[in-house]
Structures are given as structure tokens and as C-alpha cells.
Amino acid sequence: MATRPMTAAPTTPRPASRLSEFFAIDLRSLAVFRIGLGFLLLLDLYGRAQTLRMHYTGEGCYPRELALELVQPDLALFHVFLLSDRVEVQALLFGVFALLALLFVLGWHTRVVSVLVFVLLVSLVRRNHWACHTGDGWLETLFFWAMFLPLGARFSLDRLHGRAPPTRGPSGLPTPTELSIATAGVLIQIAIFYVMAGYLKSRYDVWTRGEAVWVFTHVIEYTRPFGAWLGQYPRACSLLTLGTLVVEGLGPFFLFVPFWTARLRTVLVLVLACFHLTLQATIHIGIFQMICITSLALYLPSSTWDGLVRRVPASWRARWEVLASAFVRRFGVTGPVAPRAAFARASSLATGALLVPVLAVILVSNVNSAVRNPYDKGDRGPLPLPLWLEQYGRMFCVVQSWNMFTDIDRAFFGWFLVLGQQEDGQLVDVLEGRPAGALRPPEHYARAFPNHNSRRYWREMARPEREDLQKAMCDYLAREWRREGRTPLTHLAVYHVGRIPSRRPGADEVKPICWQWEAPHEPLRSAAPAVGELWTERRARWQGILQGVPKSLPAAR
């Protein structure tokens, strides 16, 4: 009688396979991450270029002298955008940066280009960090990890030209995934980002009461039309607020569930992507939400990509394979270049020796941010890092705190008003570029900013302790007014008109930010009598104008 072959008893997955399931990244996911991150960097540079002269040159509101006054570790490596304050030089640097971003998208010498992109990105933030926001910090963090990932392994010029050898598993055979300390590190980093963002929000009553989204829908500086419409439904806003805490704070734990891992990751990536798209439709916040969606691509497992391929009609797949094969034969090489084993091992050991302590610093800094008092600058947390490590860690984006949108019920939001007096005595609205009339918020004020970086800079400038930024802004506005062929300004006053949205008052406070700016002129003691009388008259007229500015206005909405 024939006997059936014996089958092995079911066994639990070996540690190596479990590690691979949790921390390996499909090469197609890495390619999508590279292409998406590169395109977003190009979009970010395009947005910044609209205020290049304003934010990054000596003709703008933040000249190089102010940037050099910052007390921080000052590595010459990150002084690229501090080399010159000339508009032409900064425009050239922006062009070089955009070219490198494009090469990053195409996957040309990806490892080297990713290092250069990271250096330029940190340098750009170093040039004017007041014009930066959480999205810039998250972009820097992802590019830090990009330097250690095989982003050119698929859909790249490196792959086409044989510069990206195939990744190999423990058996030595080619594998469609990459498992390394770098892949584990970036996946852990993304999970930490979400968990900390959710936890830090949960410490504030405005979030636990379910009011945070409603507050944001009433912030004129940020709200989009969809957000204004959503603000009419407080219950929906409450559900979205509590949903944010759940999705951010608890969702990432499901990325590492030891069963149905691939399916759960795919579902959670889709949920988080919808979450970010909803936020993008609600408030103006630059490319931050799209950066988050791009980072989530790293969690998409091989089964998801294989399933998508199977859903493509067979005739389309066959046609694509023919075209791809013809393209490779015409422009590529016959086969991939085999890596040098000794060099690959040395590189892996060096990367591990660097990234293991980096991960430790990331974890410690996030623990500190979760425990310390955010309103006490002297509180460095229960595990304070050495000061030098903390300073350099912030520069390299490994000392982190994702304390964003947390205390929005305490923040003052509104719109900015700049009144100026011309030499002919006329009172003008400087931002609107017209004679001053009845004080009222501009229509669609959130769209008035050319980019989110400009919005962020104005908010930083409005802080009482930023007198240096306020003076530089007034100098810039006066120069721009004259450069456009208008009558020169003699005096300027900057106001922040608004309120703390959570208090729901019926009026907006007209909050003076800077009201003592006066155009440079010869000291009156040494000036001719006629000049002295003229400036005395101008000052008196200006004081009368300031006294006539109301203390409050009807609420914008």
C-alpha cells in the first residue's frame, strides 16, 4: 500500500522571518518613497522661491547678519545658503538644489545625491529657521534616513545602469525586500512620530474635550473653505478631534501586530492617508500632510504591490514588459554589477555602528518631550542629554519633539495689518497696497500668504521678544514700498488683529506688534530748522493716527 509522505509539523516563524516581516521594506515601496519625497522637495523649493528675496537675501526681512547671530552649533558644512546675501547667488543655489532634487527623483547616484540634498536642506533651514515649521523638520528627518536606504534599487537610473546590485537575503539569493538597521530604524522613526504626536496632544484639554478641530476651523490664518464649512458642525469636529487622538496615538501599534501584519499595514496606511487628506482640505499647512503620506509608503508590504500588479490586465502587463525590456536593452546594461562582499560588509557594520546610537538618542529625546513641562524651558526631561549632543542632535534632526497643534486653545490667531504714513502725509495699508480705509480683514486671508513658510515667519515675528525680526520686517516693507515706485514711508505700525478662538468672543483685539518704526533721517539736533520742523510735524501726525486706531473690531467670523 502506498504511503503518503510525512509532512513537518507546523512551526512558529523563525526570528529572522519575523524580523523581516516587521522591519524589511519592499524595494517598490522604497522607490515610491524616493520619488514622492523628491517631488515634494521640488514643490517645497518652488514655494520658497516665491519669497526667495524676502526670506533668504540681504534685501529681505531676514538678512544674513541676523542669521549669524543665532547661538547654536555652527558647522561650516551647513553654511551653504549663508555664503552670500545677493539675490543672484541665492537663486543659483536654489537652482542647484532643485537639480539635485530632480536627480534624487530619477535615482541617479542616489546615495551621493541624498547626502548632498540633506546638507542643502539643513543649510536652507539654518539660513532662516523662523520661516520653517514642523513639516520642514519632518522632511529633514526623512532625508536623514534616506541617506542610509537603498532608494535606487528599483525604478531608477542606478538600476538601469547597473549601479544598484540586487539585495540578497540570508540564503544569498536575490530578494525583493531590504532588511537592515536602516530599514528598521526608519519604520520605528515613523511609528514614534505618530505615537508622540497623538500622545502629546492628549495632554491638553482642548483635545480631550473634542474641541481642537473646531478651534482650527475658526483660525482665519489657516482655514480653507472646506474647514470653514466644517466648523458649522461642532459634533463632526468633535468626532474628528477624538479620531485624531486614536489614529495618531494608537494606530501605529497595529503596524507591528504579529498576525495579519501585511493586511493590517495596508489598511492602516489607507486610513492614515485619508486622515491626512482631510486635514489638507481643512487647513493651509503647506506640504506637511503630503510628506506624511509619502512616508507611509514604506509600510506597504510586498503582497500589496503584487496584488496591484495582478489586477492589471494581462495584455497591459505583457505590453509593459515588452516596452520595459526594449528600453533597458537600448539605454541600460546587460546585467547588474555584483557588489564587493568585503565592502558591503564593512559598509553595513559602519552604518549599524552609527544608527544604533542614533536610534537611542531619538528614543530618549522623545521620552523627554513626553514627560517634561512644555512651558518650562529649563525642564530637560527625566533623561537629559548632554548639551552638546542635544544641540548637534537638533541640527541633524535626531533630537526631536513632535509637540505640534497641541495648545491651540491658548494661541492668538488672526490677521496682520500694517499701517504706514507716506512723506506726503497719506495713511496707507501697506500689505494691501492702497490708501487705508475702514479696518477689516482681507477676503480669503489664509490665501494671502505666498507659502506656509511666510505664514510661519509672520507668526514668529509677532512674538513680543522678536524685536529684531520686527525692525527687519519694517525695513523690508519700507524698501519694497519704495521699490515699487510709491511715495516713501516715514512711519510704520504692525498689528495682529484677532483672538484666541476657543474663547469665542464677539470682537477681535487689535494687538500692536511694532509701532515705533521711523524712516532713517538726519538727527533733528543737527538738521536744518526746516527739516526739523518737517519731521516734528510728521511725528505729531503719526501719533494722532496711532491714537485713532481702535482697540478692537467686530469678529472676522
pLDDT of residue 12: 40
Position 475 pLDDT exceeds 80 = yes
Model pLDDT, residue 350: 85
Q: Which of 25-34, 157-166, 210-219, 511-520 has the highest mean pLDDT?
A: 25-34
Determine the Cα–Cα distance for residues 366 and 133; give it in Å rounded to an integer.
18
Band of pLDDT at residue 334, cut at 50, 70 and 90: low
210 versus 13: the higher-pLDDT residue is: 210
285-289 average pLDDT score? 92
Per-residue exposure over 185-200, b if at least 16 CB sit within 10 Å of its own CB, e if not: bbbbbbbbbbbbbbbb
- Helix ranges (H only) for 64-180 are 64-68, 87-106, 110-127, 134-146, 157-160
pLDDT tops 70 at residue 72: no
**Is the CA virtual torsion 157, 159, 160, 165 positive or negative?**
positive
Confidence of residue 532 (pLDDT cuts 50, 70, 90): confident
Q: What is the DSSP string of 192-217?
A: HHHHHHHHHHHTSHHHHTT-HHHHHT
pLDDT band for 6, please (50, 70, 90 cuts): very low
Comparing 56-60, 399-403, 500-504, 528-532, the range with the smallest average pLDDT is 500-504
Which residue, 38, 60, 30, is CA-closest to 120? 38
Place of cell 503647506: 286
Q: pLDDT tens-digit profile of 295-313? A: 999 999 999 999 998 888 8
336 DSSP assignment: P
Q: CB within 8 A of 375, min separation 6: which ones? A: none
Query: What is the DSSP code (8-state) at residue 61?
Result: S
> What mean pLDDT comes out for the span 204-227?
90
Place of cell 512620530: 193
Mean pLDDT of 461-487: 94
Distance CA 353, CA 183 (A): 14
pLDDT, the chain, mean: 88
How much is the pLDDT for 339?
55
pLDDT, tens digit, 9 for 90 and up, residues 384-434: 999 889 889 998 999 999 988 888 888 888 899 999 999 999 999 999 889
**Strand ranges for 155-262 from DSSP E:** 177-178
